[in-house]
Amino acid sequence: MSTEQYVERLLGEDADLARVHQTIEQLGMPEISIAAGYGRLLTMLVRMSGAKNVLEIGALGGYSGICLARGLSDGGRLTSLELLQNYADVARGSLEAAGLGDRVEYRVGDAKESLAVLAEEGRKFDFFFIDADKESYPLYLEWAIKLANPGAVITGDNALLHGRTIDPEKNGPSVLAMREFNESMVSDERLIGTLLPAYDGLAVAVVK
Ligand SMILES: C[S@@+](CC[C@H](N)C(=O)[O-])C[C@H]1O[C@@H](n2cnc3c(N)ncnc32)[C@H](O)[C@@H]1O
């Protein structure tokens, strides 16, 4: 048993999160939801930071959406950006089934365009979870900093790309983008950040 399996056994899986995995399997969607241990961490970080407005980039079936929305206090809102209408519909169904439907708003389309619209609307956020197309992570980070309230938390999943990030032989666009994202998360002067190396790596930073 790996250390991650040990943690997952301790955490278990409640009915709402289990339903997301079942739905994803039934619909033949890719099973690339965030790992259970990091899902719990997202809930904790949203709660600990007192975030009122949370932005997610990449909804899939709503697993991380449930984790983020669970951390919100009353009146808090999750805005979730998803490329595909059918995935956004599945995610919405997952949050509704979990009793969290009133806390979430989905915006469908390329997140780069949705982010520009949010900026035009003057929206600001206290917490960001980046988990969409990996080539765009550096761009998403710039948008997050632009849309951040002071002290906002920025998180990004798949920082290790299943080992490709640290493999000098791998230099494709996703890998190069992820290295740039990781470097910025830990050393950009506007941020205080680190990388958590469990699972597929989670980058976490706070905006100064
Ligand atoms: C890793 S999955 C998200 C998993 C989800 N955050 C979770 O943990 O439950 C990545 C998602 O990003 C979406 N996506 C990919 N490119 C995108 C883009 N340019 N704009 C918005 N969403 C995108 C995909 O359709 C997919 O649903």
Residue 133 CB less than 6 A away from ligand 1: yes
Tell me what pLDDT residue 138 has: 98
What is the pLDDT at residue 201? 98
State the Cα–Cα distance between residues 72 and 69, nearest whole angstrom: 5
Instruction: Say yes or no: CB of residue 82 within 6 Å of ligand 1.
Output: yes
pLDDT value, residue 145: 98
Which bin fits 99, alpha (ψ -120 to 50), beta or left (φ > 0)? Answer: left
State in Å: Cα 191 to ligand 1 middle: 24
Q: Global pTM? A: 0.98
- Given this model, what pLDDT does residue 68 score? 98
Q: What is the pLDDT of residue 191?
A: 98
| Average pLDDT, 10 consecutive residues per value, the chain (208 residues) | 92 96 98 97 98 98 98 96 98 98 98 98 98 98 98 98 98 98 98 97 98
Cross-strand partners of 192: 206
| Contacts (Cβ under 8 Å, ≥6 apart) of 19 | 94, 97, 98
Q: Is the CB of 29 under 6 A from ligand 1?
A: no
Q: Please tell me the predicted confidence (pLDDT) of residue 83.
A: 98
The confidence score (pLDDT) of residue 87 equals: 98
